[in-house]
Structure 1
Amino acid sequence: MSYYSRDEQETHYSFSPVDGYYRIESTYPPDIRRIMERCEVVATVTDDRGRVILVTARADREQMRIYNRTPKTGGSPA
């Protein structure tokens, strides 16, 4: 198996208020690389070449930034 097709690539974030951390699951290659560098990896799935094609991780709430800090150009901030 190789990377998932573009239609199947996605990243999901879910927050657990009881535990206070985010659970992250991704099949999107650019996100997989960032998640593996910055988060606590819980599990991975690799293809026949050894590439990680799915990662499950957790991150503290302080590690997550959901909104852009600066507004995009071409419009006024809301």
Structure 2
Amino acid sequence: MRVIPKGRKNYLFCWSELGAEQLGILQSLLVTCRLQEINPYHYLVDVLQRVSIHPASKVEELTPKMWKEKFGDNFLTSDLA
């Protein structure tokens, strides 16, 4: 949970209230991944690739907890890294 105190000074440079809100959402997602013992990098790479082909009616499967159960063992990887 050290992510939030480390970012306090950085929040001054979000440029807008919307930017600060988006940063909060991203940090919450990363902390949730850590609490579920998921590598945040693997999760984000997989979800960002999968979101365009995944049915909208099953979007809850892309939340960290359900993602770990369904895709955690066979996640998509990036060609770049």
Higher helix share: 2
Q: Who wins on radius of gyration, i.e. which is larger?
A: 1
Give TM-score, length-normalised by structure 1.
0.24
Higher strand share: 1
